[in-house]
Structures are given as structure tokens and as C-alpha cells.
């Protein structure tokens, strides 16, 4: 699991729950009508805004992001250097036999093995990257929109509670529950937005940036390979995509070749 995300979620919820316990009874913060308004309204409006498959894909992506460690671009640099060794020793055609979980890398290897020109490789892989970026934008937008809808439904719940309260002023026993609905729906909406939806959207965006950097490394690495650049030159070109404090030196790339 992503340690930063885990620490953030646990620490945030712990602080909020601790503040509730220190200030009184946690049961005072449980209001079923308020939850129905915020949760139900947010989900319903999200389904109106997006296709069902996009919403499902968004939650799957969120689970994937929080359950898997972030990719290291240094690994992509090392992979492209290994491929350069293979191409120089066994020829470009051998790249078609490379096994990888990355469909992008397989496509790059296939294009190189087919003897495609630099222009064709760059055009094909750039299109693939733009398509991925658009798909990821939709996934991120699901959580961004939910981060907007949740506080909005919190305010709707507040208005509903106030109307109920004002309509029952002659009955003092009904004022308390109505006021609780009015206040807690705003609390639920703000909590969901600031603690879950917007942070998830931000995490997805940061992962997309890292993934695009990795794909850019593969693209430029493929161009370098067909131009028959030596491994050191490939390393110098590709490592430029990585921050100087994070990039691994060439001798520590752990590149094993036969």
C-alpha cells in the first residue's frame, strides 16, 4: 500500500474522531437522514454526470492507486538500457520477443522490431500517451465532481433541516432533530470532500504525472535504440526526465544482460 496515503487517511480520521470524543458523545454526530441526503445525493448526481462504467473505473483506479506502490521512473530507464543491449547484440528483430506487463512497452518494441521510422514511432506512442491522459482525466474528474457535489448536498441538507425546524417551532421536541440534520449534513459534505474525494483526485493526478514520465522515458528510449545510441548516451538522455536527487547513477542501475 502507498504509505503516504495510509498515514494521511489514518492520521486525518484519528484527529477528527479524537476531537469528537473530546468534545462529547460521538452519537451526536450520527444522523441517518443527513447521511442519506449527502451520500445518496452525491452518488445520484455523479451517476447523472458520468457514465456508469466511468464511475466504476474511477473507484477501481482509486483502489489500485492506494494499494500499489508508486512506479519508479528509474526502472523504466534501466529497462530501456537493457533493450538497447539486446538490440545491439541480437538485432532489433529480437525486441519483438520481449515479455512485459506494459502494453506501451510491447507496442514500442513491436514498432522497433518492424523497422518503423522515428516519425512513425513518435506519432504512434504520442497518440497512445494522449489517449491514456484523456482516460485518466475522466477518472480524476469523477472524484473532483464528487468533491464539489458533496458540500453542495450538505448545504441542501442544511436548508431542509432549517425548513423542518421553522415549520415545527410550536413543537420544541422537533427542533433538536431538525437542527441536527441541518448542521450534520454540512459536516458530512465537507468531510467527504476534503478528506476523501479531493485528496483521491489529487493522488490520481500525481500518479498520472509519474506514469506519463515513465511512458515518455520509454518513447525517447525507443527513439534512441533505433538510432543505435550506446547505453551511456541513452542513460544520459533518459535520466534527464528524473529529478537529480531521485535519479540513480548509471553504475547502480542494476542492469543485467546476457
pLDDT digits (tens, 9 = 90+) for 14-32: 888 888 888 777 777 888 8
What is the pLDDT, as a whole number, of residue 198?
A: 93
Q: Is residue 24 part of a domain?
A: no
What is the pLDDT, as a whole number, of residue 1?
A: 60
C-beta pairs of 100-104 under 8 Å, 24+ apart in sequence: 102/218, 104/128, 104/129, 104/132, 104/215, 104/218
The string of DSSP letters for 180-192 reads: HHHHHHHHHHHHH
State the CB neighbour count (10 A cutoff) for residue 15: 10
Q: Is 41 helix (H, G, I), strand (E, B) or coil?
A: helix
What is the pLDDT, as a whole number, of residue 144?
A: 96
Q: Is residue 163 part of a domain?
A: yes
Q: Is residue 134 part of a domain?
A: yes
Domain total of the chain? 1
What is the pLDDT, as a whole number, of residue 255?
A: 65
Q: Is residue 130 part of a domain?
A: yes
Q: Is residue 94 part of a domain?
A: yes
For 52, counting Cβ atoms within 10 Å of its Cβ (0-12 exposed, 13-18 middle, 19+ buried), the class is exposed
Q: Is residue 58 part of a domain?
A: yes
Residue with cell 518494441: 109
What is the pLDDT, as a whole number, of residue 15?
A: 86
Listed as ranges, residues in the chain with pLDDT below 70 are 1-2, 254-258
What is the pLDDT, as a whole number, of residue 214?
A: 94
Q: Is residue 10 part of a domain?
A: no
What is the pLDDT, as a whole number, of residue 9?
A: 81
State the CB neighbour count (10 A cutoff) for residue 198: 17
Q: Residue 129 is part of which domain span? A: 31-252
Amino acid at each position: 500500500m502507498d504509505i503516504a496515503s495510509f498515514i494521511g487517511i489514518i492520521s486525518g480520521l484519528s484527529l477528527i474522531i479524537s476531537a469528537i470524543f473530546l468534545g462529547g458523545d460521538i452519537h451526536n454526530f450520527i444522523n441517518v437522514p443527513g447521511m442519506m441526503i449527502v451520500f445518496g445525493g452525491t452518488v445520484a448526481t455523479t451517476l447523472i454526470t458520468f457514465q456508469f462504467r466511468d464511475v466504476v473505473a474511477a473507484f477501481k483506479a482509486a483502489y489500485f492507486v492506494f494499494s500499489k506502490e508508486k512506479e519508479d521512473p528509474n526502472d523504466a530507464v534501466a529497462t530501456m538500457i537493457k533493450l538497447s543491449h539486446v538490440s545491439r547484440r541480437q538485432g532489433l528483430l529480437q525486441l519483438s520477443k520481449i515479455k512485459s506487463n506494459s502494453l506501451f512497452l510491447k507496442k514500442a518494441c513491436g514498432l522497433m522490431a518492424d523497422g518503423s521510422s522515428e516519425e512513425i514511432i513518435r506519432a504512434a506512442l504520442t497518440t497512445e500517451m494522449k489517449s491514456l491522459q484523456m482516460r485518466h482525466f475522466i477518472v480524476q474528474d469523477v472524484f473532483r465532481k464528487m468533491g464539489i457535489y458533496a458540500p453542495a448536498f450538505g448545504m441542501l441538507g442544511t436548508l431542509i433541516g432549517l425548513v423542518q425546524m421553522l415549520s415545527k417551532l410550536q413543537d420544541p421536541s422537533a427542533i433538536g432533530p431538525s437542527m441536527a440534520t441541518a448542521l450534520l449534513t454540512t459536516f458530512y459534505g465537507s468531510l467527504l470532500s476534503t478528506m476523501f474525494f479531493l485528496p483521491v483526485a489529487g493522488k490520481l493526478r500525481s500518479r498520472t504525472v509519474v506514469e506519463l514520465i515513465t511512458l515518455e522515458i520509454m518513447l525517447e528510449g525507443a527513439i534512441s535504440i533505433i538510432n543505435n545510441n550506446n547505453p551511456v548516451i541513452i542513460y544520459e538522455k533518459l535520466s534527464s526526465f528524473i529529478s537529480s536527487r531521485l535519479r540513480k547513477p548509471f553504475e547502480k542501475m542494476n542492469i543485467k544482460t546476457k
